[in-house]
């Protein structure tokens, strides 16, 4: 063990401002506007940040969360169903400007919890400080943008159309009860980018936090309780099979917002007794390739490929998970890529300039070691010094070369710091890889020849949701559509698209005659309806 030997700190070495100050026992869950206290079995929260204890590394249990049962899960669902009340509840019928006011209140209170949330993100999922702060800030900006976009949509709907003798107005209304589940890598951002649009559109929610990245909700529980009418948002904890299955089997979930694996999503979705009643908004697996053409600018390519494959240790759905490099420039690329990987600082999430941090998933380092061994068996080598070294939850990035189709890492989503590099002779080999892949989220092309890039765009535009030129794959900016094909996604998210995903249009129409016009005019003039109206929300 070389580079990772002393990577973990002792408790005393953790800077005072990031100390946790004790075990966090989190027994509360939110149902029907009440914070209930769970007295049953608890789930231990193990931090990826272990402690050094002399020559040993000690696991670090930082807290615990409830392991609720089907009973509490159903209570949460019943509260959401009651608050929706077949679309007649206070929340779904509330005027849009009042719903927005609730979300604005929530946002204001949420911002006060920034430090507490950021600290817990570092301890629970090992995300470094700048990225944890960015996750928080990006989420608050997303909420502000959502409110702005919703007002814009509402203003543009504040009019009547008159077509073929039919006068009509179109508005957007909620779908019903939404089940929102997020991923551990962006437990705040990716969850809230479905939960907030679902809420503000008038749906009621059952929210189950991700597997890891759970304690950080604790500082927000009161905020959720205080900012929304009872039953509008319900927060449950526990194992998926005990808490989520029963919800879906009830047939009372109308929208399923889930970020995770396609296998997990399919298992839950198929439990719904009336599949046509369920709308799904899913962000799933990906194996985004980088395609490096012979004339690529290697400085740009290397910096984008390092960030693309190893930001947050490669634990991004949008990460570059396989790099195809034209064999003529493979050596030159690797000669720059390897030193750039080796420059990434390893350490604890709060340390200055740290890029590579410990991994939150139990068993992950063993899985990644297995991938490396499998690739070695089929002829690849780890070509960077210390690559694949493990210390407890830490895995030093491994660059594998030359990777081929026999290896698991060629098709499997590693979701971690293993970077497979495949040399190719003919671009058709890469096109074939993308076409045959089970996933279709994004890809990156690195090159300078417009003709060749245009050819690739045209070959691959029907395979993925986004093609990046001389840039890594990424979700943002959030105003752009974020989606995927095949097993990578269902539906499209962006600030505007999410509002559409969690709503349906209601058309209110009448035949164009004097009597009907008079009725409509009276309703509008006297502000008799929340829906049929001409007022503007500024």
Residues 6+ apart with CB under 8 A from 13: none
- What's the rounded Cα separation, in Å, for the pair 295 and 132? 36
Which listed range, 236-244, 457-465, 472-480, 498-506, lies at the site for ligand G3H (CB under 6 A)? 472-480
Using the rule CB under 6 A, is 258 a contact of ligand G3H? no
- Under the binding rule (CB under 6 A), the answer on residue 127 touching ligand G3H is no
Nearest to 12 by CA among 45, 63, 51: 51
Among 91, 186, 207, 324, binds ligand G3H (CB under 6 A): 186
> What distance in Å separates the CA atoms of residue 469 and residue 503, rounded to the nearest whole number?
33
39 burial (CB, 10 Å; 0-12 / 13-18 / 19+) is: exposed
Smallest gap, in angstroms, from Cβ of residue 484 to ligand G3H?
11
| CA nearest to 472, candidates 323, 369, 334, 370 | 323
Nearer to ligand G3H, 171 or 316 (CB): 316
Cβ proximity to ligand G3H, 317 vs 382, nearer residue: 317
Nearest approach in angstroms of CB 494 to ligand G3H is 12
**Contacts with 453 (C-beta within 8 Å, 6 or more apart), sequence order:** 293, 445, 447, 469
Q: Which of 52, 65, 185, 309 binds ligand G3H (CB under 6 A)?
A: 185
- Per CB under 6 A, 355 contacts ligand G3H: no
Stretch that binds ligand G3H, among 91-99, 167-175, 315-323, 382-390 (CB under 6 A): 315-323
Stretch that binds ligand G3H, among 244-252, 287-295, 316-324, 393-401 (CB under 6 A): 316-324
Buried b (16+ CB within 10 A) or exposed e, 100-124: bebbeebbebbeebeeebbbbbbbb
Q: How far is the CB of 64 from ligand G3H (least distance, A)?
A: 26
Distances (CA, A) of 399 to 339, 393, 420: 11, 19, 6
> What is the Cα 278 distance to its own chain's centre?
20
Q: Which of 175, 206, 317, 375 binds ligand G3H (CB under 6 A)?
A: 317
Question: Using the rule CB under 6 A, is 318 a contact of ligand G3H?
Answer: yes
User: Which of 250, 204, 268 shows the shortest CA–CA distance to 231?
Assistant: 204
Q: Does 149 bind ligand G3H (CB under 6 A)?
A: no
User: Whole-number minimum distance, CB 131 to ligand G3H, in Å?
Assistant: 9
DSSP state of 212: S
Report the residue number, 208 or 316, with the smaller CB distance to ligand G3H: 316
**In terms of DSSP H, where are the helices of 20-128?**
70-84, 90-93, 96-111, 114-125
Measured from the Cβ of residue 238, the count of other Cβ atoms closer than 10 Å reads 23
Binding test (CB under 6 A) with ligand G3H, winner from 15, 476, 477, 481: 476
Please tell me whether residue 279 binds ligand G3H under the rule CB under 6 A.
no
Least separation in angstroms between residue 184's CB and ligand G3H is 10
Interacting residue with ligand G3H among 475, 483, 494, 496 (CB under 6 A)? 475
**According to the binding rule CB under 6 A, does residue 490 interact with ligand G3H?**
no
Residue among 91, 92, 103, 104 nearest 230 (CA)? 91
Interface with ligand G3H includes 477 (CB under 6 A)? Answer: no
CA distances in angstroms from 238 to 27, 47, 160, 241, 243, listed in the order given: 11, 17, 48, 9, 6
Nearer to ligand G3H, 64 or 288 (CB): 288
| Residue closer to ligand G3H (CB basis): 252 or 321 | 321
Of 454 and 471, which has the nearer Cβ to ligand G3H? 471
Using CB under 6 A, count the residues that bind ligand G3H: 9
**Piece of 20-28, 172-180, 182-190, 261-269 that binds ligand G3H (CB under 6 A):** 182-190
CA distance 119 to 122: 5
Binding positions for ligand G3H, rule: CB under 6 A: 185-186, 190, 316-318, 474-476
């Amino acid at each position: 063990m070389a580079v990772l030997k002393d990577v973990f700190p002792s408790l005393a070495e953790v800077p005072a401002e990031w100390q946790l100050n004790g075990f966090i026992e989190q027994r509360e869950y939110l149902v029907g506007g009440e914070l209930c206290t769970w007295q049953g079995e608890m789930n231990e929260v193990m931090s990826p940040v272990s402690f050094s204890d002399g020559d040993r590394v000690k696991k670090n249990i930082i807290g615990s969360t409830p392991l609720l049962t089907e009973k509490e899960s159903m209570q949460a669902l019943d509260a959401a169903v009651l608050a929706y009340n077949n679309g007649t509840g206070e929340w779904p019928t509330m005027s849009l400007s009042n719903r927005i006011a609730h979300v604005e209140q929530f946002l204001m209170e949420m911002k006060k919890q920034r430090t507490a949330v950021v600290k817990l993100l570092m301890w629970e999922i090992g995300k470094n400080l700048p990225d944890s702060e960015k996750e928080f800030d990006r989420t608050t900006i997303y909420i502000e943008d959502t409110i702005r976009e919703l007002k814009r949509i509402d203003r543009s709907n504040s009019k009547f159309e008159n077509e073929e003798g039919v006068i009509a107005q179109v508005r957007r209304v909620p779908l019903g009860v939404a089940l929102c589940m997020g991923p551990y890598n962006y437990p705040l951002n990716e969850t809230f980018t479905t939960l907030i649009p679902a809420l503000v559109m008038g749906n009621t929610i059952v929210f189950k936090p991700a597997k890891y990245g759970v304690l950080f909700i604790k500082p927000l529980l009161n905020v959720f309780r205080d900012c929304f009418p009872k039953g509008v948002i319900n927060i449950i904890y526990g194992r998926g099979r005990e808490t989520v299955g029963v919800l879906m089997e009830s047939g009372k979930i109308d929208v399923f917002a889930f970020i995770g694996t396609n296998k997990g999503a399919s298992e839950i979705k198929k439990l719904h007794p009336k599949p046509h009643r369920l709308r799904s908004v899913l962000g799933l697996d990906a194996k985004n390739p980088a395609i490096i053409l012979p004339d690529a600018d290697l400085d740009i390519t290397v910096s984008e490929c390092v960030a693309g494959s190893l930001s947050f240790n490669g634990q991004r759905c949008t990460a570059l998970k396989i790099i195809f490099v034209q064999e003529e420039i493979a050596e030159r690329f690797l000669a720059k890529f390897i030193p750039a990987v080796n420059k990434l600082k390893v350490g604890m999430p709060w340390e200055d300039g740290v890029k590579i941090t410990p991994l939150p998933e139990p068993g992950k380092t063993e899985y990644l070691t297995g991938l490396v061994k499998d690739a070695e068996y089929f002829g690849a080598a780890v070509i960077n010094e210390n690559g694949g070294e493990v210390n407890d939850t830490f895995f030093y990035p491994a660059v594998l070369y030359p990777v081929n189709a026999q290896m698991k890492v060629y098709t499997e989503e590693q979701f971690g710091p293993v970077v497979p590099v495949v040399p190719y002779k003919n671009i058709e080999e890469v096109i074939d890889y993308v076409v045959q892949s089970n996933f279709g989220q994004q890809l990156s092309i690195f090159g300078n020849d417009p003709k060749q890039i245009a050819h690739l765009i045209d070959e691959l535009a029907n395979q993925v949701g986004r093609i990046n030129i001389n840039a890594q794959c990424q979700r943002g900016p959030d105003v752009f559509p974020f989606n995927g094909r095949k097993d990578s996604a269902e539906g499209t998210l962006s600030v505007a698209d999410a509002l559409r995903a969690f709503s349906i249009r209601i058309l209110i129409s009448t035949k164009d005659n004097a009597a009907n016009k008079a009725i409509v005019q009276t309703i509008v003039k006297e502000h008799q309806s929340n829906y049929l109206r001409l007022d503007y929300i500024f």
